[in-house]
């Protein structure tokens, strides 16, 4: 293998299936070309670590209804805007009403906006894992401090370790190792995985995002699996500790408590959601806008995002992949999120069997690729 890396992965050996959970890892692995450097016996599948991808359609429909409500401003991380709800996306709403949906980089911006604009109700779309949830908690605490009456969060934060256990408990997939998320682990610590993974006897390595050290971390995991060892190791020691970040976790514990929540593709997984504690119920958008509870949607029937997210199929095995479902016209969030497996696969994957991709990306394999210059 002719990689300019420090690690070597042996070509020969048993077939291994490894799952990376974090959506940023999915994209980093593609963008760094790591897939093209691993021997054919290594199968890398992507798990449910893209927070946008695992958000159910019901939540999108709730967010869209809020955006279309007079005097409500929905504020969100940019990645949510293109996700399709049952009929449209937040981007579509923003086109018609530019002020109704706004992109922000931090939940605290939503609090500042609410403070400056008492005439509108500001709802922040609280989507993310343990990396993001502490900042959402901080936003709620700040709103409490300022005694804001016009700020709330539509909560959809989720936690990772129990979801991993649920995945392994389905029995549908055989995994030989986990590539553990970098920044989630920075918050929850390496120890958080030990209980979950020791039950299933699977090795795992916390990996960073920089191409060289990410490759090293994956090579480390492959070595563990090849040797039949089931330890959990840390290849991102610059940022991740065994005990994680206690300050972040204490903010989380102050504001949130675990609850059951729906994951696209996995159904309801007990204890993997985060809901506001009763002290902070005022800031729950579902309390402030109870009509949202009546909304219930199902995913488009042909969409296989759920199977992709749980590693049951790879993106090209979805019949809609690259045809009816493309980044320009997405059916499910896996194609539209910048951290979605399908979008990454379509954009970056170089394989020996690639079709002429201009045809694939246009969604119509029969159409000849026209020169337009």
Partner 1 sequence: MSNNHVTLEDGAGGRESALLVQTIFRSRFGGTEDGFADAARKPFPGGQLLMSTDGFVVQPAEFPGGNIGKLAVCGTVNDIAVSGGRPLYLAAGYIIEEGFPLQALERIAEAMATTAHECGVSIVTGDTKVVPRGQADGVYIHTTGVGTPVCEPLPPGPVALENGDVLIASGNLGEHGLALLAFREGLLDPDSNLQSDCAPVHRATAQLQITLGTDLRLMRDPTRGGLATTLWEIVHGRDFNFLIEEADLPYNQNFYSLAAMLGLDLLHLPSEGRFIAIVKNTRVDDAVQCLRQSGCPDARVIGRISKERPGRTVLITSIGGQRFLEPLAQEQLPRIC
Give me the residues that bind partner 1 (CB under 8 A), please.
2-5, 23-24, 30-37, 51-52, 77-82, 95, 103, 105, 127-129, 131-132, 183, 211-212, 215, 327-328, 338-339, 347-350, 354, 356-358, 361, 369-373
Task: Give whichever of 90 and 168 is closer to partner 1, judged by the CB atom.
Answer: 90
Question: What is the distance between the alpha carbons of residues 86 and 88, in angstroms, rounded to a whole number?
Answer: 6
Task: Give whichever of 37 and 232 is closer to partner 1, judged by the CB atom.
Answer: 37
The answer for residues whose C-beta is within 8 angstroms of residue 120's C-beta and 6 or more apart is 71, 72, 73, 114, 150
| 127 SS3 class | strand
Question: What is the distance between the alpha carbons of residues 167 and 308, in angstroms, rounded to a whole number?
Answer: 12
Task: Give whichever of 24 and 202 is closer to partner 1, judged by the CB atom.
Answer: 24
Q: Supply the minimum distance, in Å, between the C-beta of residue 213 and partner 1.
A: 10
Q: Which residues of 193-225 are buried (b: 16+ CB within 10 A; e: fewer)?
A: beebbeeeebbbbbbbbebebbbbbbbbbbbbb
Task: Give whichever of 33 and 246 is closer to partner 1, judged by the CB atom.
Answer: 33
Task: Give whichever of 50 and 320 is closer to partner 1, judged by the CB atom.
Answer: 50
Q: Supply the minimum distance, in Å, between the C-beta of residue 238 and partner 1.
A: 16
Q: Supply the minimum distance, in Å, between the C-beta of residue 36 and partner 1.
A: 4
Q: Supply the minimum distance, in Å, between the C-beta of residue 194 and partner 1.
A: 24
Q: In terms of Cα–Cα distance, which of 182, 123, 126, 181 is closest to 157?
A: 126
Sheet of 16-20: strand order equals 42-46, 16-20, 177-180, 204-206, 232-234
Q: Supply the minimum distance, in Å, between the C-beta of residue 312 and partner 1.
A: 24
Task: Give whichever of 94 and 304 is closer to partner 1, judged by the CB atom.
Answer: 94
Task: Give whichever of 66 and 219 is closer to partner 1, judged by the CB atom.
Answer: 219
In 159-209, where do the E strands start and end?
A: 177-180, 204-206
Take residue 304 and report the two structure tokens written for it.
């296989």
Tell me the Cα Rg of the chain. Answer: 21
Residue 153's beta-bridge partner residues?
Answer: 124, 284
Q: Supply the minimum distance, in Å, between the C-beta of residue 136 and partner 1.
A: 11
For β-strands 232-234 and 267-276, DSSP reports them as: unpaired
* Torsional sign, CA 211, 213, 216, 218: negative
Task: Give whichever of 6 and 227 is closer to partner 1, judged by the CB atom.
Answer: 6
Question: What is the distance between the alpha carbons of residues 99 and 85, in angstroms, rounded to a whole number?
Answer: 19
Q: Supply the minimum distance, in Å, between the C-beta of residue 327 and partner 1.
A: 5
Do residues 127 and 156 touch, judged by C-beta distance below 8 A?
Answer: yes
* DSSP label at residue 270: E
């Amino acid at each position: 293998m002719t990689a300019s890396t420090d690690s070597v992965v042996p070509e020969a050996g048993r077939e291994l299936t490894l799952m990376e959970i974090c959506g940023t890892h999915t994209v980093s692995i593609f963008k760094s070309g790591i897939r093209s450097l691993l021997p054919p016996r290594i199968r890398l599948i992507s798990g449910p670590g893209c927070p946008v991808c695992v958000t159910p359609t019901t939540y999108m429909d709730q967010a869209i209804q809020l955006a279309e409500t007079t005097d409500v401003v929905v504020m969100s991380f940019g990645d949510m805007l293109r996700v399709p709800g049952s009929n449209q996306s937040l981007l579509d709403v923003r086109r018609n009403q530019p002020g109704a949906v706004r992109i922000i980089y931090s939940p605290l911006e939503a609090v500042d906006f609410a403070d400056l604009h008492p005439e509108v109700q500001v709802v922040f779309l609280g989507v993310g894992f343990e990396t993001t949830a502490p900042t959402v908690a901080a936003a709620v605490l700040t709103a409490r401090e300022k005694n804001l009456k016009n700020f709330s969060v539509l909560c959809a934060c989720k936690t990772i370790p129990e979801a991993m256990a649920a995945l392994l408990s389905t029995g549908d997939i055989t995994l030989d190792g986990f590539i553990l998320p970098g920044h989630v682990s920075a918050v929850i610590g390496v120890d958080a995985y030990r209980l979950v993974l020791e039950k299933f006897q699977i090795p795992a390595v916390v990996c960073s995002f920089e191409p060289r050290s990410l490759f090293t971390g994956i090579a480390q995991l492959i070595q563990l699996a090849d040797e039949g060892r089931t330890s959990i190791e840390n290849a991102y020691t610059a940022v991740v500790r065994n005990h994680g970040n206690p300050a972040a976790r204490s903010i989380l514990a102050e504001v949130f408590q675990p609850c059951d929540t729906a994951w696209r593709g996995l159904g309801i997984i007990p204890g993997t959601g985060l809901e506001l504690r009763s002290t902070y119920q005022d800031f729950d958008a579902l309390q402030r806008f109870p009509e949202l509870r009546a909304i219930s949607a199902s995913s488009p029937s042909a969409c296989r995002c759920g199977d992709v997210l749980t590693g049951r199929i790879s993106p090209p095995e979805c019949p809609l992949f690259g045809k009816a479902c493309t980044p320009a016209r997405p059916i499910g969030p896996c194609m539209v999120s910048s951290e979605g497996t399908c979008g990454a696969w379509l954009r970056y994957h170089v394989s020996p069997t690639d079709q002429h991709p201009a045809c694939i990306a246009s969604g119509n394999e029969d159409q000849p690729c026209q020169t337009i210059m």
